[in-house]
């Protein structure tokens, strides 16, 4: 008996079918999965907020009024005294200086000499920071320690111009930025590579998601090293084979994919009429009817003119009024069956012809009736 050669096209089709079966049988293939790094934060890898008080000089008469901004005057006098200039007995009237708050974000593991972007915002009645220069300003953290200093020319995206009869303002000329205007002077002490236990914090705490993250990590490392402590925290014990490579372990872990779970919510912004519903929103059997009484009055006056060559005729305006009444009789009573999906709920409400603001009232009424199996969050 001789073996028959297999056709290359048949072989390729078999491989394609086998790959399709593997994809379909893979766990969670039908669910939207996210990387752990996109839904969680690792212990110690975080930013720190910095703030400082400084002076911007070189303004073209658009700075603080020293009579109205006492803190600007005292800061100016103190700065001049440190430079050896006695200005206590002089009457200062300059408007080329402004007191500002300087803010920056210290990235995780920023080393000495690292450059930072800083944001400048006025404190007094300065009208424009364009063309100003920030003097050396210490930036402190929440522990009152200086971690960076800032200095440089302020870049302002907005502008303001005015004349005797009109003024115009674009953007915010009283705030600006200095790209790479800050320099790190002190490092935040934290030794990530020496940790024996790393905590992972979920950005949206959820019991199911926390358990899925722990299971995904344990399946990857091959030992029960991860355990969910609460809905927002997973504790990861560093395995023996990663004792000297904590950074490598976290690099591999953050690339793992899980399907995050979420609570069914309906987010409503009544001011803008915005409605956002999650895919897990369900409703019980309920009947919905919506209709409003609308009266529309339209004025369309017409001009009546006399015939040509008529004697004594005058042109007059004749009023024409049209009144339309919409009592919502065309709106029918809609029935939503139990367990309908989000798409079916939206289609059903759209079939009633309701506006987004009316839809907000309907959703609140469904929730009050106990038929909406979701949490309503009002913004």
* pLDDT at residue 318 is higher than 50: yes
The confidence score (pLDDT) of residue 81 equals 86
**Contact predicate 244/202, CB 8 Å:** no
Q: Give the confidence band of 69 by pLDDT, cuts at 50, 70, 90.
A: confident
- Report how far residue 51's alpha carbon sits from residue 46's, in angstroms, rounded to the nearest whole number: 17
Joined tokens for residue 142: 């929440």
The confidence score (pLDDT) of residue 20 equals 37
β-pairing, 265-269 vs 375-378, is parallel
Report pTM: 0.67
* pLDDT at residue 28 is higher than 60: no
The confidence score (pLDDT) of residue 299 equals 56
110-114, Cβ contacts within 8 angstroms, sequence gap of 24 or more: 110/184, 110/187, 110/188, 111/184, 111/187, 112/184, 112/185, 112/186, 112/187, 113/183, 113/184, 114/183, 114/184
The confidence score (pLDDT) of residue 23 equals 35
What's the pLDDT tens digit per position in 255-299?
999 999 888 888 888 777 778 877 777 777 767 666 654 445 565
Joined tokens for residue 185: 């002077």
Beta-carbon contacts of residue 367 (< 8 Å; ≥ 6 apart): 266, 374, 376
- Report how far residue 277's alpha carbon sits from residue 208's, in angstroms, rounded to the nearest whole number: 20
Q: Give the confidence band of 337 by pLDDT, cuts at 50, 70, 90.
A: low
Which is more confident, 167 or 28? 167
Point out which residues pair with 97 in neighbouring strands: 57
Q: What is the mean pLDDT of the chain?
A: 80
What's the pLDDT tens digit per position in 97-144?
999 999 999 999 999 999 999 999 999 899 889 989 999 999 999 999
């Amino acid at each position: 008996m001789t073996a028959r050669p297999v056709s290359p096209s048949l072989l390729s089709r078999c491989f394609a079918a086998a790959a399709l079966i593997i994809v379909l049988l893979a766990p969670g293939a039908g669910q939207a999965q996210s990387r752990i790094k996109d839904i969680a934060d690792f212990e110690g890898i975080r930013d720190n907020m910095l703030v400082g008080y400084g002076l911007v000089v070189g303004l073209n008469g658009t700075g603080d009024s020293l009579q109205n901004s006492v803190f600007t005057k005292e800061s100016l006098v103190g700065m001049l005294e440190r430079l050896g200039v006695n200005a206590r007995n002089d009457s200062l009237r300059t408007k080329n200086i402004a007191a500002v708050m300087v803010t920056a974000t210290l990235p995780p593991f920023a080393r000495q000499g690292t450059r930072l972007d800083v944001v400048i915002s006025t404190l007094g009645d300065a009208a424009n920071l364009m063309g100003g220069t920030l003097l050396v300003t210490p930036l402190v953290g929440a522990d009152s320690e200086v971690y960076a200093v800032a200095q440089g020319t302020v870049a302002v995206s907005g502008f303001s111009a005015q004349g005797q009869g009109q003024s115009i303002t674009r953007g915010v000329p009283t705030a600006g930025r200095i790209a790479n205007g800050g320099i790190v002077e002190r490092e935040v002490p934290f030794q990530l590579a020496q940790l024996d236990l790393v905590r992972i914090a979920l950005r949206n705490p959820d019991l199911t998601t926390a358990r899925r993250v722990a299971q995904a990590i344990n399946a990857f490392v091959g030992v029960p090293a991860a355990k969910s402590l609460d809905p927002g925290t997973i504790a990861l014990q560093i395995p023996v084979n990663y004792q000297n490579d904590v950074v490598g372990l976290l690099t591999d872990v953050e690339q793992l994919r899980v399907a995050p779970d979420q609570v069914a919510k309906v987010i409503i912004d009544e001011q803008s009429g915005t409605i956002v519903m999650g895919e897990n929103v369900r409703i019980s059997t309920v009947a919905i009817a919506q209709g409003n009484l609308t009266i529309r009055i339209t004025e369309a006056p017409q001009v009546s003119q006399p015939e040509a060559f008529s004697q004594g005729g005058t042109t007059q305006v004749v009023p024409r009024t049209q009144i339309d009444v919409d009592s919502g009789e065309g709106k029918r009573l809609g029935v939503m069956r139990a367990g309908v999906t989000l798409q079916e709920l939206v289609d059903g409400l759209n079939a009633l012809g309701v506006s987004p603001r009316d839809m907000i009232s309907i959703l609140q009424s469904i929730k009050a009736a106990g038929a909406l199996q979701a949490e309503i969050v009002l913004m």
